[in-house]
Amino acid sequence: MNRNVWAGKNGPLLIAEIGGNHEGDFEYAKKLTHLAAESGCDYVKFQIYTGDGLVNPIESPQRNEHFKKFELTPEQHLELANICKSYGIGYLASVWEVEALQWIDQFMDFYKIGSGDLTAYPVIKALCRLKKPILLSTGLATEEEVLESIKYIKSCDPLYESSESIAILQCTSMYPIPAADANLKVMDRLRLQTSNPVGYSDHTEGTYALEIAVAMGAQILEFHFTDDRVGKEFRDHKVSLTKDEVRTLITRINEIKDLQGNDQKNPLKIEGDHVISFRRAVYPAKEIPVHKVITSEDLTVLRPNHGIAASSFDLLLGKKAVKPLKKFEKLDWKYFE
């Protein structure tokens, strides 16, 4: 299992979700795939299903017909996967049709379990048999359900005990959502509860939530992708990014990474001599005769930090001057006993 599967070219793994934005039009699906690949993302994502394999035609006939209209054939998915391959990026799909695993597995580096399938244990079990990393989206779920699904995945195969074998996405399953419903702090909670890589699947408008998620440590970002939101009726387009917006997001991610820097706290070269010019040292506040016992009234702290640092002020109190000291004279420890 590749331990770097969640590492993207620009830090967090970037997944451009075309999903159903093609609305069953294969030529449009190919166009979107080319645009997404050109945007700089790491993976282009689709959904593999048939209407009858996903939605009960008796219980929900309208939804069944909707998904039938959006179906792509196995041959079309394979062509899309090869387009991704030609760009040197990954093809990804939420596989909602277990039978499809046999023909799409060759192109899958890992499997995405969408929010709707978090409790679909038979589907999850089939994915686990392929022994590839799993990306679990958590929209609609309680914390308990998330933890139970992770527990179930681990029960399917010991390899999923590895913390890198399962990644988790905070997600709110509505399109679009207001900022207050993104709940990005859930990422911190899931990271604490599981020790697994954590990311964010975005259903807000724009890129701001994604940028904040990166600053909060998201290792994976999933966002919907389109060519243009103008004049589109299908709801997913409204929360989708365009090629130029993804490129701008990548610029922002790199700026955020620059701002984050590293966790080692040390003076930096760029700060120059500020450790001297910005910090204070101890200086005589007045003339101090030889043998004088030093009191706080005898001393002051001023810039620059020459001689004895201001942090040693208290250590000088009670000592005797071994020589006369002038007001504001640079001090040395050898002047005291």
Place of tokens 């993104």: 182
Please give the pLDDT value at position 1. Answer: 44
Q: Which of 260, 284, 306 is the last residue of a domain?
A: 260
Q: Which of 238, 260, 282 is the last residue of a domain?
A: 260
Shared domain for 254 and 278, answered yes or no, is no
Shared domain for 146 and 274, answered yes or no, is no
Four-residue CA torsion sign, 195, 196, 197, 202: negative
- Residues 278-299 as b/e (b if ≥16 CB within 10 A, e otherwise) read eebbbbbeeebeeeeebeeebb
Shared domain for 33 and 105, answered yes or no, is yes
Q: Which amino acid is at 125?
A: K
Shared domain for 249 and 274, answered yes or no, is no
Residue 216 maps to a domain: yes
Q: What is the pLDDT along the chain (337 residues), one digit of tens a residue?
A: 445 899 999 999 999 999 999 999 999 999 999 999 999 999 999 999 999 999 999 999 999 999 999 999 999 999 999 999 999 999 999 999 999 999 999 999 999 999 999 999 999 999 999 999 999 999 999 999 999 999 999 999 999 999 999 999 999 999 999 999 999 999 999 999 999 999 999 999 999 999 999 999 999 999 999 999 988 888 889 999 999 999 999 999 999 999 999 999 999 999 999 999 999 999 999 999 999 999 999 999 999 999 999 999 999 999 999 999 999 999 999 999 9
Nearest to 197 by CA among 331, 335, 18, 5: 5
- pTM for the full predicted model: 0.91
Residue 32 maps to a domain: yes
Shared domain for 248 and 311, answered yes or no, is no
Residue 4 maps to a domain: no
Tell me the three-class secondary structure of the chain, residue by residue: CCCCCCEECCEEEEEEECCCCCCCCHHHHHHHHHHHHHHCCCEEEEEECCHHHHCCCCCCHHHHHHHHHCCCCHHHHHHHHHHHHHCCCEEEEEECCHHHHHHHHHHCCCEEECHHHCCCHHHHHHHHCCCCCEEEECCCCCHHHHHHHHHHHHHHCHHHHCHHHEEEEEECCCCCCCHHHCCCCHHHHHHHHHCCCEEEECCCCCCHHHHHHHHCCCCEEEEEECCCCCCCCCHHHHHEECHHHHHHHHHHHHHHHHHHCCCCCCCCHHHCCHHHHCCCEEEECCCECCCCECCHHHEEEECCCCCEEHHHHHHHCCCEECCCECCCCCCCHHHEC
Shared domain for 251 and 184, answered yes or no, is yes
| CATH code of the domain in which 322 resides | 3.90.1210.10
Neighbour count for residue 73 (Cβ, 10 Å): 10
Please give the pLDDT value at position 2. Answer: 46
Shared domain for 251 and 286, answered yes or no, is no
Shared domain for 97 and 206, answered yes or no, is yes
Place of tokens 């978090």: 118
Shared domain for 32 and 56, answered yes or no, is yes
Residue 3 maps to a domain: no
Please give the pLDDT value at position 161. Answer: 97
Domain count, the chain: 2
